[in-house]
Amino acid sequence: METKIINPSLVRLDAELGSTPEEVITSLAAIVTEAGRSTSEAELAAAAHAREAKSHTGVPGGVAIPHCRCAAVTEPTLGFARLKNPVDFGAPDGPADLTFLIAAPEGGGREHLKILSTLARALVNKEFVQNLRSAQSDEEVVSLITDVLNNPPKKKKKKSAEAASGAAAGTAAATATTADAPAAQLEAVSTLAGDVTRIVAITACPTGIAHTYMAADSLTNTADEMDGVELTVETQGSSAVTPMDPAVIEAADAVIFATDVGVKDRERFAGKPVIESGVKRAINEPRVMIEEAIAASKDPNAHRVAGTAAAASSESADSSSSLSWPKRIQQAIMTGVSYMVPFVAAGGLLLALGFLFGGYDMANAWQTIVTDYSLTNLPGHDITVDGEVMTLTKSGFMLYLGAVLFATGQMAMGFIVAALSGYTAFAIAGRPGIAPGFVGGAISVLLGAGFIGGLVTGVLAGFIAWWIGSWKVHRIVASLMPVVIIPLLTSLIVGLAMFFLLGAPLAGIMTGLTNWLNSMTGTSAVVLGIILGLMMCFDLGGPVNKAAYLFGTAGLSAGDEGSLKIMAAVMAAGMVPPIALSLATLIRPRVFTPAEQENGKSSWLLGLSFVSEGAIPFAAADPLRVIPSMMAGGAVTGALSMLFGAGSRAPHGGVFVLFAIEPKIGWLVSIIAGVIVSAAVVVLLKTVWPQKIVEKQAEAAEKQEANA
């Protein structure tokens, strides 16, 4: 809290401010206005009266805390009056002689609730209240109040997880009061917080890099602007997930799931009203989602998270989601992809490092090198493989290090299909689906069905495990279901289905796809590059973009030349939008809003890192001009990347994994060309067909200059 929130000019001791709450509030509003903290006494008083009309602000102990947000207030302010004649503010134990007026600016988010919750907790302390009653000067009162605002009482409960802190920490305090507070005081604090709707949210996307955190920020920032909303977000992204404090979940009135993948530990929210959507909706329509959650919290017939409180510790998947089955399958596949990507990233980069240190011909002898040689027995140029002597370009430590890195990468890549299958099944059936999913993925590799087989076995294993898990069995058998019976039966069924029925057809499809990719040259390769470029730039991290990315990353498991080219084209095209828009804001800033100009200063770095979502703020504000422009550049980049034959062993990282891409120059040229095209087109469209908001801002700027 800022120490300037109260000063001696905002304090009145032993004052006669009226005989009713309305008169006292009006007098306090006048005091705040006289102190220069409000531009209109009438507006401030009206806002405080309106809040008082909703529910009384008196609390036990002879205290009243009227509070409001008002456009007339210039900065968060606390006015205080010790009344000579106590006034009844509706407290159960009688009138109040200590009266606080908390006034916050209209755009001040939940600042007044933060002050309110801290102050209300401090009022539990009898010594603090007595000191206010015995204070001899305005300065002494300011010192007492400032001290408690800057050093709020310590809670005896366990500290909330990081997920429960941040934007919601201040208002969460209104419900997480000190353990020894009287019951009446706790009830009063809850009432004083107003008609606050407590919402918890989960955001998650397949890669867990950008959309996850953008959605969280969008929801949090919007909640800050809304009165009576307390929001806590748990981001289930690529970094470590800090689970939400169970106490925060327990106190929540509604839940928002803004995810493109399955929600981890969904049963923690069992019984809560829920609003579900893809992660992009939370970025584009955060206020609508929050309003829907508020409405759901008050609707006894609203859809709720399935399960019971007893199941909250279970990791099984929710089998009664409000999502349609096609949407659930899509989310399950995206979950599988999100767990697969780290294997692809680690494996692909290790393979690239292996080539960097050991040379490309090392790939033909790496198994012999890592098994027959060591740090004390380094290999020479000549290596015997299967009875034939191979002469390699490198030798000694560099060759051995390269082979070790390559071998480690190969092992990581060997898990790709199994991870894709296993975690796809997990998203559908929970833990019981993991083992049969992994088994199905391994069988797919054995039979040559590749990632196509992995997708099929993941979905198949997930549904079979989910179906078996729905059986009603004796309680003795029930304890064996998730760890023995479901994995056993599901693995058996999936294995039999693959070996007897599905394996050969899926392997044929995979072989045909691989041969087609490897045979692509000239026009066919360019056409595929154009399609991939258009897909990557169409929705900037949405389902179409993710489908193209899945196509690129899944193919890396094969390791063939065609798959590497696709990955390079996908990554190059995905880098274009943020860089192009950053360049456009630099070239012609006047056709962009000030907010877009500010975003342009950092979006180039997101683009270089292959974070396409850096362009979302531009596309969301002006989709008709931005998206076609980005698609044009993406198509150019995809086509040129395929034409130059660029291949990437890394699935992510942008220019920071340039060592894993060949030829480097051709790949960089394709990106530069696409950036230039996109930047030129978007500037042209915005110049010929300007946005209304930009025109209005330009007119306002001209008027301001004329007046100056």
Residue 169 has pLDDT above 50, yes or no: no
Q: Region 608-615: what's the mean pLDDT?
A: 85
Q: Convert the pLDDT of each residue in 10-39 to its tens digit.
A: 999 999 999 999 999 999 999 999 999 999
User: What pLDDT is stored for residue 612 in this prediction?
Assistant: 84
Q: Give ∠ CA 646-649-655 in degrees, rounded to 5.
A: 70
User: What pLDDT is stored for residue 56 in this prediction?
Assistant: 80
**Which two structure tokens, joined as six digits, stand for 458?**
């993941």
Helix/strand/coil for 230: strand
Q: Which of 68, 70, 112, 205 is catalytic?
A: 205
Q: Which of 67, 112, 211, 652 is catalytic?
A: 67
62: left (phi over 0), alpha (psi -120 to 50) or beta: left
Residue 168 has pLDDT above 50, yes or no: no
Q: Region 634-660: what's the mean pLDDT?
A: 90
Q: Are 248 and 232 in contact (CB under 8 A)?
A: yes
Q: Region 572-597: what's the mean pLDDT?
A: 91
Residue that wins the pLDDT comparison between 222 and 705: 222
**Which two structure tokens, joined as six digits, stand for 376?**
């004390």
Query: How is domain 3-190 classified at the CATH fold level?
Result: Mannitol-specific EII; Chain A (3.40.930)
- CA pseudo-torsion sign 22, 23, 28, 34: positive
Q: Convert the pLDDT of each residue in 399-455 to its tens digit.
A: 999 999 999 998 998 898 999 999 999 989 888 999 999 999 999 999 998 888 999
Average per-residue pLDDT for the chain: 83
Residue that wins the pLDDT comparison between 136 and 183: 136
Distance CA 543, CA 327 (A): 11
Q: Does domain 196-323 have CATH number 3.40.190.10?
A: no
Domain with CATH 3.40.50.2300 in the chain: 196-323
Q: Categorize the per-residue pLDDT at 695 as very low, low, confident or very high, splitting at 50, 70 and 90.
A: low
User: What pLDDT is stored for residue 317 in this prediction?
Assistant: 45
Residue 188 has pLDDT above 80, yes or no: no
212, 532, 579, 600, 706 from 606: Cα distances, Å? 15, 20, 8, 10, 39
Q: Region 210-218: what's the mean pLDDT?
A: 81
Residue that wins the pLDDT comparison between 247 and 372: 372
Choice among 289-298, 345-354, 495-504, 512-521 with the minimum mean pLDDT: 512-521
Domain with CATH 3.40.930.10 in the chain: 3-190
User: What pLDDT is stored for residue 289 in this prediction?
Assistant: 94
Distance CA 398, CA 76 (A): 64
Distance CA 61, CA 63 (A): 6
Q: Give ∠ CA 581-587-592 in degrees, rounded to 5.
A: 60
Residue 135 has pLDDT above 70, yes or no: yes
Nearest in space to 681 (alpha carbons), one of 617, 632, 619 = 632
Distance CA 358, CA 14 (A): 85
Check if 56 is active-site.
no
3-state secondary structure 78-120: EEEEEEEEEECCCCCCCCEEEEEEEEEECCCCCHHHHHHHHHH
Q: Are 486 and 432 in contact (CB under 8 A)?
A: yes
Check if 67 is active-site.
yes
- What percent of the chain is modeled with pLDDT above 70? 84
